[in-house]
Structure 1
Amino acid sequence: MKQNSNWKIIHDKYPFEKLIEATFLALKEKGNSASNTEIFNKIIEILNIDDNFLEIMHLDTQKSELEYQLAWARTYLKSFGIITNSSRGVWSITPEFAKFANINPQEIIEEFNKNKKIKENKQKDKVLEQKLEYVEENEEFQTWKNRLFKILTNMNPFAFEILAQRLLRECGFVDVEVTKKTGDGGIDGTGKFKLNGIFTFNVAFQCKRYSGSVSASAIRDFRGSLTTDIEKGLFITTGSFTRDAKEEAMKSGKKQIDLIDGEEFMEKLAQYGLGLKEIKDYEIDEKFFNNI
Structure 2
Amino acid sequence: MKRTASTVPTFDLMLLPAIQALQMLGGSGTTEEIYDKVVQLLNLPDKILEISHGSTSQTEVEYRLAWTRTYLKKYGILQNSSRGIWSLVSTSINLDDLDAKEIVKAVREADKNKATPSDTLDETVETIAIETLEELAWHQQLHKILLSLEPSAFERLVQRLLRESGFIQVQVTGKSGDGGIDGVGIARINGFLSFHVLFQCKRYQGSVTAGQIRDFRGAMQGRTDKGLLITTGTFTRDAIKEATRDGAPPIDLIDGEQLVQRLKELGLGVKITMIESIDVDMDWFTKI
Q: Shorter-chain TM-score category?
A: 0.7 to 0.9
**Residue in structure 2 matched with residue 101 of structure 1 by the alignment:** 94
Q: How does 1:1-292 map to 2 (within 5 A)?
A: 10-11=7-8, 14-95=9-90, 98-102=91-95, 103-123=98-118, 136=130, 138=132, 141-281=135-275
* Secondary structure class of the residue paired with 1:220: helix
Shift of 1:173: 0.4
Q: Contact 1:193–1:201 (CA<8 Å) still a contact in 2?
A: yes
Q: Contact 1:214–1:240 (CA<8 Å) still a contact in 2?
A: yes
List structure 1 segments (4+ residues) > 2 angstroms apart after TM superposition.
14-18, 115-126, 133-142
Q: Contact 1:71–1:140 (CA<8 Å) still a contact in 2?
A: no
Shift of 1:115: 2.7
Gap regions ≥5 residues in structure 1:
1-8, 127-132, 284-292
* Secondary structure class of the residue paired with 1:110: helix
1:24-51 superposed Cα distances (whole Å, 9 cap, x missing partner)? 1101111111111111111122112222
Q: Contact 1:213–1:241 (CA<8 Å) still a contact in 2?
A: yes
1:83-138 superposed Cα distances (whole Å, 9 cap, x missing partner)? 0111111110013xx21121221111001221333345444599xxxxxx999462
TM-aligned CA distance change 1:53 to 1:233, over 3 Å: same
Worse overlay, 33-42 or 147-156: 33-42
TM-score (ref. length: structure 1)? 0.84
1:256-284 superposed Cα distances (whole Å, 9 cap, x missing partner)? 0001111111111111111111112189x
Q: Contact 2:56–2:143 (CA<8 Å) still a contact in 1?
A: yes
Shift of 1:245: 0.7
* Secondary structure class of the residue paired with 2:272: coil
Partner AA of 1:155 in structure 2: L
1:45-91 superposed Cα distances (whole Å, 9 cap, x missing partner)? 21122222111111111111111111100000000110011111111
Q: Contact 1:34–1:92 (CA<8 Å) still a contact in 2?
A: yes
**Residue in structure 1 matched with residue 285 of structure 2 by the alignment:** none
TM-aligned CA distance change 1:142 to 1:223, over 3 Å: same
In the alignment, the residues of structure 2 paired with residue 255 and residue 163 of structure 1 have an alpha-carbon distance, to the nearest angstrom, of 25
In the alignment, the residues of structure 2 paired with residue 179 and residue 124 of structure 1 have an alpha-carbon distance, to the nearest angstrom, of 55
Q: Contact 2:155–2:182 (CA<8 Å) still a contact in 1?
A: yes
In the alignment, the residues of structure 2 paired with residue 85 and residue 39 of structure 1 have an alpha-carbon distance, to the nearest angstrom, of 13
- For the aligned residue pairs, the C-alpha RMSD in angstroms reads 2.3
Q: Contact 1:75–1:139 (CA<8 Å) still a contact in 2?
A: no
Shift of 1:227: 3.9
Gap regions ≥5 residues in structure 2:
1-5, 122-126, 278-288
